[in-house]
A = this chain, B = another copy of it.
């Protein structure tokens, strides 16, 4: 399978038009889900031609992954508060709870759509997951460089696993989505102590 380019194929569309298009894709995703979303519907909703959509984004999987990336308020790579504790707290405080809940419903639908859809899986991986992992690793690397934590601290390679646990397990245990208050308590009770902070 071909690599997905890290930015959309260059063209004459403006950033404003691109943002408008991504918003329309997210609205459609919320309305009909990934499997129900068609390029025809995106073309109609955005008054674009399907040919333009395919030329610009290659296909539905890439278009959807880019729309989701556009929707992220800030990525791990952009966080740099000067301390590891501050960086991690900011990672879980990026959104208001209402938006967070909407986005979690959207993401849950997509993670189910990934099952049995290798094209969507690859696009999500390259455009959403890998940049976040890279950003988090960079943030940890800076903490090591500042001397906040030893380079060989055993919990360092599991920060992402701990965070994933915080994001997904509350629904299993309590049938409630995590909110900011929960994530901050979890960070202080689990992630920071495991890192010795």
Contact = CB atoms under 8 A, between A and B. Distances in A.
A161 B165 contact: yes
A164 interface: yes
Contacts of A165: 158, 161-166, 168-169
A107 to B, nearest CB: 12
A177 to B, nearest CB: 13
Interface stretch (A5-13, A58-66, A87-95, A186-194): A186-194
Interface in A33-67: none
Nearest to A186: B158
Given A154-B188, A164-B165, A194-B193, A173 B112 contact: no
A190 B155 contact: yes
14 contacts: A133-B173, A158-B189, A160-B172, A161-B165, A161-B169, A161-B173, A161-B186, A162-B162, A164-B165, A164-B172, A189-B194, A190-B194, A193-B194, A193-B196
